[in-house]
Structure 1
Amino acid sequence: MDALRRSLGALSLLYALVFVTFALLHAGVGLGPLRQPVIVPAAIVETLCCLVLVGGGYGALARRSWAWDGLLYTHAAALGGVLLGIFALALGPEDGNTLLTWYHSIMAIMLAAGLSGAFYASRVRR
């Protein structure tokens, strides 16, 4: 279980980096060749996802007593943010672009997998 906790903690920090990257892109900051339309609500949600994942990653890597619950809740919150983005793209007036489609799809899959692992581990430990 220790390897799973450390892995999910490290992945949480990696996911936080991805979220802050897209928050910057949606705030209008170009990162090299990457550009995205300015979408302020998306930048806000992505920043919040980044912050919660940093918290969950910290708890896991610092071996806090709340690490499993922290990973569980932070993955669920970030997955909720990604699903909100998917619905916004589906119902929005503009078509999404390929980068946004890939971003949302991959993050949804990775966060769902992490959520499953954290859920399993939190139940086994009790």
Structure 2
Amino acid sequence: MPYEIEKPEEQWRAELDPDEYRVLREAGTEAAFTGEYNDTKTTGVYNCRGCGAELFRSDTKFESHCGWPSFYDPADTDAVELLEDRSMGTVRTEVRCARCGSHLGHVFEGEGYATPTDQRYCINSISVRLAPADS
């Protein structure tokens, strides 16, 4: 799928550090409970680390105790792209930035969390940057 932001891989490698590149461009995963936003309660907007697109807002972040930041809804349904992922021997739904195609994490449904959507967007901290709200 063509994205609004398209860059050659050499440019992505130059702009991202090796860990960011592995997750955003190669669909890697950061280790559970290690990401900088796993436990944060800061109010603000989570933007794509690859292109700056607004992806999630802190008012949809919730405690899932899964080891990664969890959100029950993206900032806008058009902000993310959902793709079938069969890479781990099971069917999951991958979440990508709809603007640049960067891998963000996965979304799960029907887990019983008390959220308005019954969804858990399990997002790698390294895939996003938190822009704190003005105090």
TM-score range relative to shorter protein: under 0.3
Question: TM-score of the superposition, structure 2-length normalised?
Answer: 0.25
Question: TM-score of the superposition, structure 1-length normalised?
Answer: 0.26
Going by fraction, where is strand more abundant, 1 or 2?
2
Bigger radius of gyration? 1
Going by fraction, where is helix more abundant, 1 or 2?
1
